[in-house]
Amino acid sequence: LIKVGFAGLAFHLFLKKTFQRKGVFSIIFGAMYALSAFVMAYSWNIMWLDALILMPLVLWALIRFIRQGKFVLYIVFLALLLFSNYYIAFFACIFIALYFPILMVRHTTGWTSRGRLKIILKIAGATLIAVALSAFLLLPAIKSLQFTSASGDAWPRNVEFTANPLAYVAQHFILLQPTIRSGFPNLYSGISILLLIPVFFMSERIRLREKLMYAFLLLFLLLSFDLNILNFFWHGMHFPNQLPYRNSFVYIFLALTMAYAALRTLRSLKAKDFVLLVIPLILVVPVSALLLEDLATSAATQWVTILFLLLYALVFAAFGHSKKDRATKLSKNNGVSRRSFISVALILIMLVELLTHSIVSVYFVDTNEYFGLRDGYAAGNKPAAIRAALTDIENNYQEGLFYRVELNKQKSSNDPALYGYKGLSMFASTSAEAPVRFFKNMGYYSNGINSYKYTGSTLFLDSLFAIEFLLARDPLNHIETLREQVLDNGEVQVYQNPYALPLGFAANSSVLTYNTTAGRVFQNQNRLAKHINPEIGSIFTELKVTNLDAPPEAELTSSGPGFKFYKTYAEESYTLHLHADIDEEGTHYLYLDNKKHDLDDAILRDQAGRPIRLNTNGMTEIGLLSEGEVNLELTFSASAAASGDIDLLMARLDKEELSQFCLQGNRGGLKLASFQNNRFSGH
């Protein structure tokens, strides 16, 4: 909330500096900027909000630099912009560069060519200083980005424009659901924009040259949303993964600036001009709802939008001069009183609109997005119990300087940061591609781009990565025999891994040549153990799995991990039945790759018929299984394809081989003398 408030204040200061005007409307427009659809959609991403504060301040300082020659604040604010968040700063800097010619035209009227060249060179020099001040952060960031999955994206081969111009207009309607994961760009900052931008181009008080420059920039920003080469460039030579149109805040900035300029020229238009403007806009509202299937609209959206359009048109028309007004020549005092009354009415309408938009947008985000589900996230009985268990572990159960902890059911991909423990799960936009691929091929849950989670681990991997304690947010769904339960505080249970290796240990040099193979999770883990210690046998023994639903002409036992399914009725759900023989008692794991086929459920029934619910994709720890037969039931949803294939692997963990592997690892393990967040030492 504090950052949102400062964003509004910064835009207010920019408007005051640009137009040299005092009054309440710059404050109102600051609020419109701070409460725009972009902010409502992405306010949860608090690291992006800094740029919304600093971009107006950079432009405010740039105007000050041009007009008064004072450069210090420009350098400071630009350096802070680059330092605060290089990603959003990239959007802001592109926009500042595009907007700079307009500032030069507006604020250097009457200057000589030599004077303009001189100030441009000064600004270039100050910009280089700001970049240099932030280089200590930018250079490592640029280097690290080269290792991400996005760094290898190729430029689009063909030029494509996929947008519907009608959608751009519709995104200015009130009561729309904010676009977060997919949809149209977030453009809303006030319904009055739909009237004021045309007024900007109709006004005789705004110079033609400015109109043309603003029109070109506005068109360029709109094209940037759906012209693939521009969209690719704006997002750092990369097409974003969800959260589309992340640069829409610069459009909102420009649109509000134009609208504010137009508001100051309303008196130059006639009342009938606003009537001619509002009629087609009112017609566009139902047409948009009818033609745009993906528009998150409702009847309330249409009626409330039309209502505000009519209210704004009436107020703007009241500002304008009619022939009757000019003929009667109203007295100065009466004219001032009339304008004051109209201004108050306009302010009230704008405030009501902003309040309505804010309440509804917060409601949409809270009800439609998972991050709006706060129960058990950072507050409540479960998080309190998790933190209490972590404190108990620190005080009573751990002996060394370093150990890792993980949760069996994560609330997010960054639970270690959320609850303050050393773990494995991580989501970061700058995650290097190689470790993400490594963890995915090992069986961990991963989006394949920039995150991986503890979900999908095995006891071997727990031991390898020094995960000594497992916190069960929910009771374990399997019989646990290899970890020891050491704590139960009523909300969470804590299990200790006796095989956990130290932070560092000796390994064979062949580990440097190790590579993983996609889909072969148990082979990958066996090979990794063998590369670390060539004397070790197989940690996992894969089992034969039989497809009970295979056609008579097909082999019953798959020669690989693949199994085909054929739905009886294409539009109904279907259950695939598999079978496995457990030849030796032990802890078992199952890996399932659903190949993006929708599964409603996945269940393993042990020898006693006890159901064990499986992850519908990825690795599941089944726990202890005795000798005998087990059956698997994979239920495909009605929306799944009529036929297809999945990969499924089952394996038994060899306790003796794991014990031998960890025993030798601990013998050659690092004895820590000290450990801190940024360094450690030992022998």
Q: Which of 326, 341, 372 is the last residue of a domain?
A: 372
Question: Rounded distance, CA 138 to CA 130, Å?
Answer: 11
Same domain? For 255 and 285 the reply is yes
Q: For CA atoms 409, 413, 417, 418, give the dihedral sign.
A: negative
**Within a domain: residue 74?**
no
What tokens does 158 get? Answer: 């063909």
Question: Rounded distance, CA 601 to CA 431, Å?
Answer: 32
Per-residue pLDDT, averaged over 469-488, amounts to 91
Same domain? For 172 and 316 the reply is yes
**Within a domain: residue 284?**
yes
- Of residues 54 and 323, more confidence is placed in 54
Q: Which of 51-55, 336-340, 362-366, 455-459 has the lowest mean pLDDT?
A: 336-340
Same domain? For 493 and 572 the reply is no
Supply the pLDDT for residue 273. Answer: 87
* pLDDT higher than threshold 50 for residue 629: yes
What number of H helices and E strands is found in the chain?
A: 23, 19
**Within a domain: residue 216?**
yes
What is residue 498's DSSP assignment?
A: T
**Within a domain: residue 617?**
yes
Q: Which of 340, 372, 404 is the last residue of a domain?
A: 372
**Within a domain: residue 50?**
no
Same domain? For 325 and 180 the reply is yes
Q: Which of 339, 372, 405 is the last residue of a domain?
A: 372
Torsion of CA 139, 140, 141, 144, to 10 degrees: 130
Q: Residue 136: what residue type?
A: F
Percentage of the residues of the chain whose pLDDT score is greater than 70: 95
Cβ(129)–Cβ(75) below 8 Å: yes
CA atoms within a 13 Å half-sphere pointing along the CA-CB vector of 636: 25
Q: Residue 441: what residue type?
A: N
Give the orientation angle of helix 46-68 with respect to helix 86-107, to 10 degrees. 30
Q: Which of 265-274, 330-339, 363-372 has the lowest mean pLDDT?
A: 330-339
Same domain? For 234 and 311 the reply is yes
Number of Cβ within a 10 Å radius of residue 359: 10
CA atoms within a 13 Å half-sphere pointing along the CA-CB vector of 299: 0
Q: How many domains does the chain have?
A: 3
Question: Rounded distance, CA 169 to CA 184, Å?
Answer: 11
Q: Residue 145: what residue type?
A: L
Same domain? For 192 and 333 the reply is yes
Same domain? For 520 and 576 the reply is no
Cβ(189)–Cβ(33) below 8 Å: yes
| Percent helix, percent strand, percent coil in the chain, to nearest 5 | 50, 15, 35
Q: Which of 33-42, 151-160, 338-347, 624-633 has the lowest mean pLDDT?
A: 151-160
Same domain? For 487 and 354 the reply is no
CA atoms within a 13 Å half-sphere pointing along the CA-CB vector of 71: 13
**Within a domain: residue 21?**
no
Question: Rounded distance, CA 361 to CA 35, Å?
Answer: 10
Question: Rounded distance, CA 240 to CA 372, Å?
Answer: 22
Q: For the segment 519-576, what is each residue's pLDDT rounded down to a tens digit? A: 899 999 999 999 999 999 999 999 999 888 776 554 444 456 888 888 888 888 999 9
Whichever domain contains 620, its CATH number is 2.60.120
What tokens does 257 get? Answer: 């600036």
The model's confidence at residue 627, banded by pLDDT at 50, 70 and 90, is: very high
Question: Rounded distance, CA 478 to CA 624, Å?
Answer: 7
Same domain? For 489 and 454 the reply is yes
Cβ(603)–Cβ(614) below 8 Å: yes
* pLDDT higher than threshold 70 for residue 321: no
Supply the pLDDT for residue 336. Answer: 59
Supply the pLDDT for residue 551. Answer: 62
Pairing of strands 467-472, 404-407: parallel
Place of tokens 């190949």: 595
Same domain? For 401 and 297 the reply is no
Same domain? For 307 and 428 the reply is no
Give the orientation angle of helix 25-34 with respect to helix 2-19, to 10 degrees. 140
Q: For CA atoms 78, 81, 82, 86, give the dihedral sign.
A: negative
What is the helix (H) or strand (E) element at residue 388, kind and residue range? helix 381-392
**Within a domain: residue 32?**
no
Instruction: Say whether 443 sits in a helix, a strand or coil.
Output: coil
CA nearest neighbour of 167 among 38, 287, 35, 308: 287
* pLDDT higher than threshold 90 for residue 677: no
Residues 6+ apart with CB under 8 A from 190: 32, 256, 259, 350, 353, 354
Question: Rounded distance, CA 349 to CA 351, Å?
Answer: 5
Domain that holds residue 643: 540-653
Same domain? For 290 and 400 the reply is no
SS (HEC) of 198-234: HHHHHCCCCCHHHHHHHHHHHHHHHHHHHEHHHHHHH
**Within a domain: residue 592?**
yes
